């Protein structure tokens, strides 16, 4: 068969099949693949949130380590900590609990 027998519309896909396959591949990878752009964005935002939480937990851990060292090595801090958290009192002393 000669090319002139077919209209241009029918010949175009056969001439540019690589371009069509590339376009189909890009569309598939963008929207239908397991790791499409939408899922990549969701994963990225989740990772960003988890890193922020991790940073917060590290700061909290450092704060409580510092507080522990203060409580263990400073008698005034130990007494204050015990009074605040365990409601201990000295003999003859009254403790009033105020809810915030």
At residue 62, what are phi and psi to the nearest 5 degrees?
A: -65, -40
Model confidence pLDDT, tens digit, residues 42-85 = 999 999 999 999 999 999 999 999 999 999 999 999 988 888 88
Q: Which of 92, 84, 53, 46 is nearest to 67 (CA)?
A: 84
3-class DSSP state of 34: coil
Model confidence pLDDT, tens digit, residues 20-31 = 999 999 898 888
Taking 90 as the threshold, does the pLDDT of residue 89 lie above it?
no
* CA pair distance 7, 61, nearest whole angstrom: 74
Assessment of whether the complete model's pTM goes beyond 0.85: no
Q: What is the CA angle 33-35-37, rounded to 5? A: 95
Domain ranges across the chain: 1-33, 35-87
What's the confidence (pLDDT) of residue 18? 92
């Amino acid at each position: 068969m000669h090319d002139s027998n077919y209209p241009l519309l029918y010949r175009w896909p056969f001439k540019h099949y690589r371009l069509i396959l590339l376009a189909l591949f890009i569309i598939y990878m963008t929207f239908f693949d397991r790791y499409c752009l939408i899922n990549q964005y969701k994963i990225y935002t989740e990772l960003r949130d988890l890193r922020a939480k991790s940073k917060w937990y590290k700061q909290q851990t450092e704060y409580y380590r510092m507080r522990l060292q203060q409580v263990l090595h400073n008698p005034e801090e130990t007494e204050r900590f015990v009074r605040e958290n365990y409601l201990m009192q000295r003999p003859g002393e009254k403790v009033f609990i105020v809810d915030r």
